[in-house]
């Protein structure tokens, strides 16, 4: 340890590995959601409260179905990136790894389930 | 060069030592709202899955989403999504190198709070 230089100690511990790509992916998904979310809010909000038949009929239309599927998929992809940063900031050790794995499973699981459900209604 | 004063260096002051500021609070709430929105999104996914499954499953999910509890979650999430969105826009502006000084960051924070509340009221009235 006594012979280790400061440079040697720092190599491999910097932030500039894959962090910039993670940030860039959050930026891209946020711009996508900026378009999708307002449309989804007013479409979903308008049909919420209607009967089963009206809801199914509404989501057989291509545009509301596509907006709903894309919003669910992209918001969970965006959430996965965000919650990973949250976990990495506050939780350490093996609990961190377990939580990241769990939230990744939850995110992709919910996204897959939601998109499949919308397609099932639409097709 | 090597091993000078390792492990006994002064620490930078952490969150708990600072007075809450508009910039820090608006930033914390962007994180909070973004992660809290999971609850509403899971409810929405359940609602869609139930609609795909059939009338009975839909009645259960729809009843839950439109119950007083579901209503409360949806109303708070409406504010959360608008706030998080305006917070995201502020981040996109910052990423371009604009509005990084304290004064304009605080102005943007105030705008986020006011516009998100107005949009929540607007959404609640329209829908």
Q: How big is the CA angle at A66 (ends A64 and A68), to the nearest 5 degrees? A: 65
The answer to whether residue A8 sits within a structural domain is: no
Per-residue pLDDT, A112: 97
A24 and B CB contact within 8 Å: no
Residue A14 lies in a domain: no
Containing structural domain, residue A52: 19-122
Number of domains in chain A: 1
Question: How far is residue B39's CA from residue A34's CA, in Å, rounded to a whole number?
Answer: 20
Alpha carbon distance B49, B40 (integer Å)? 14
Mean pLDDT along residues B22-46:
95
Beta carbons of B49 and A27 less than 8 Å apart: no
Q: In this complex, which of A30, A75, A113 lies closest to B92 when CB atoms are compared?
A: A30
In a domain, A50, yes or no: yes
Residue of A nearest to B96 (CA): A27
Contacts of B123 in chain A (CB under 8 A): 41-42, 45
Share of chain B above pLDDT 90, in %: 78
Could you list the pLDDT tens digit for every one of the 123 residues in chain A? 567 887 887 777 766 666 788 899 999 999 999 999 999 999 999 999 999 999 999 999 999 999 999 999 999 999 999 999 999 989 989 999 999 999 999 999 999 999 999 999 999
Decide which of A103 and B20 is more confident: A103
Residue of B nearest to A46 (CA): B127
Give the residue on B whose Cα is nearest the Cα of A112: B45
Residues of A in contact with B88 (CB under 8 A): 30, 33-34
Task: Tell me the per-residue pLDDT of B99-114, one tens digit each, with 9 for 90 and over.
Answer: 999 999 999 999 999 9
| A11 Cβ under 8 Å from any chain B Cβ | no
* CA neighbor of A34 nearest in space, from B39, B123, B75, B89: B89
Which residues in chain A are closer than 8 Å to B47, comparing Cβ atoms?
A: 48
Domain CATH number, residue A33: 1.20.1300
Q: Which of B51, B85, B91 sits opposite A55 (nearest CB)?
A: B51
ipTM of the complex: 0.86
Domains of chain B: 22-126 (1.20.1300.10)
Q: Is B87's pLDDT higher than 80? A: yes
Asked if residue B4 lies in contact with residue B65, where contact means CB atoms within 8 angstroms, the answer is no
pTM above 0.90, yes or no: no
Q: Is residue A52 part of a domain?
A: yes
For residue A47, tell me if it sits in a domain: yes
Whether residue A37 and residue B85 make contact (CB cut-off 8 A), yes or no, is yes
């Amino acid at each position: 340890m006594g012979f280790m230089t400061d440079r040697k100690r720092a190599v491999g511990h910097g932030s500039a590995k894959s962090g910039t790509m993670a940030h860039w992916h959050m930026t891209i998904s946020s711009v996508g959601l900026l378009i999708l979310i307002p449309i989804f809010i007013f479409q979903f909000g308008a049909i919420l409260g209607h009967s089963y038949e009206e809801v199914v009929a509404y989501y057989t239309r291509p545009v509301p179905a596509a907006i709903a599927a894309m919003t669910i998929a992209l918001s969970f992809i965006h959430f996965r990136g965000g919650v990973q940063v949250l976990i990495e900031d506050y939780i350490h050790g093996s609990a961190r790894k377990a939580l990241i794995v769990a939230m990744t499973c939850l995110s992709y699981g919910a996204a897959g389930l939601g998109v499949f459900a919308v397609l099932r209604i639409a097709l | 060069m090597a091993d000078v004063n390792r492990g006994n260096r002064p620490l930078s002051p952490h969150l708990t030592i600072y007075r809450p500021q508009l910039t820090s609070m608006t930033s914390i709430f962007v994180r909070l709202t973004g992660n809290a929105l999971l609850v509403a999104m899971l409810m929405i996914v359940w609602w869609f899955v139930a609609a795909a499954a059939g009338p009975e499953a839909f009645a259960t999910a729809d009843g839950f989403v439109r119950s007083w509890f579901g209503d409360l979650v949806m109303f708070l999430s409406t504010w959360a999504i608008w706030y998080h969105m305006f917070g995201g826009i502020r981040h996109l502006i910052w990423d371009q190198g604009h509005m990084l000084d304290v004064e304009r960051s605080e102005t943007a924070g105030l705008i986020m709070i006011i516009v998100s509340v107005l949009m929540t009221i607007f959404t609640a009235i329209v829908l």
